[in-house]
A and B are shown apart, each in its own frame.
Chain A
Amino acid sequence: EAGVTQFPSHSVIEKGQTVTLRCDPISGHDNLYWYRRVMGKEIKFLLHFVKESKQDESGMPNNRFLAERTGGTYSTLKVQPAELEDSGVYFCASSRTGTGLNEQYFGPGTRLTVT
């Protein structure tokens, strides 16, 4: 089966611009997660979707970040307007419901650089 995919792999934007990251989870996975790793820091949870609903968005840093998962398939994470501190690697992960609930499969990440 295909793994979690993310697009783009890299993005370089200027402060104040908008960027949209996309994540395609493994087919059939209802759970979708976004994480972020800022340079030199740990990977931090941003939010969790179950199908199209936001189950937990406690990690979203501020209202410049908007995540959507229309139709419960792929997800987008938009940053508007981007700030310098938003630079980092954004990871998406997905997992099944049921017994595999906590085994999360990660995508390759999108490296975002805000200049």
Chain B
Amino acid sequence: EPEVTQTPSHQVTQMGQEVILRCVPISNHLYFYWYRQILGQKVEFLVSFYNNEISEKSEIFDDQFSVERPDGSNFTLKIRSTKLEDSAMYFCASSPHYEQYFGPGTRLTVT
């Protein structure tokens, strides 16, 4: 059964550094999403992406965040200058229509 994959599984970075989180959505899906979950808290929407452009973004998704679909398979989330409060689990999801299927997540630790 096709799955969403994410790399790396765990990323440790220093405050102020740039990180790129990578996702490979399920191949025939059209909608892509990034969510984050700070430890012990609810899952929060960051951004949705359709037809090679952002369709919706949350207040969290400020200028330090960007997304890209550089080729036909990858979907990336870039954080330009990481802050301590960016430490969280980042989930990628993809959807053929209304159901969203999540990847295993990338645990980002900012020190």
Bound pair (A, B):
no
A contacts, CB < 8 Å to B:
none
| B residues whose Cβ falls under 8 Å from a Cβ of A | none
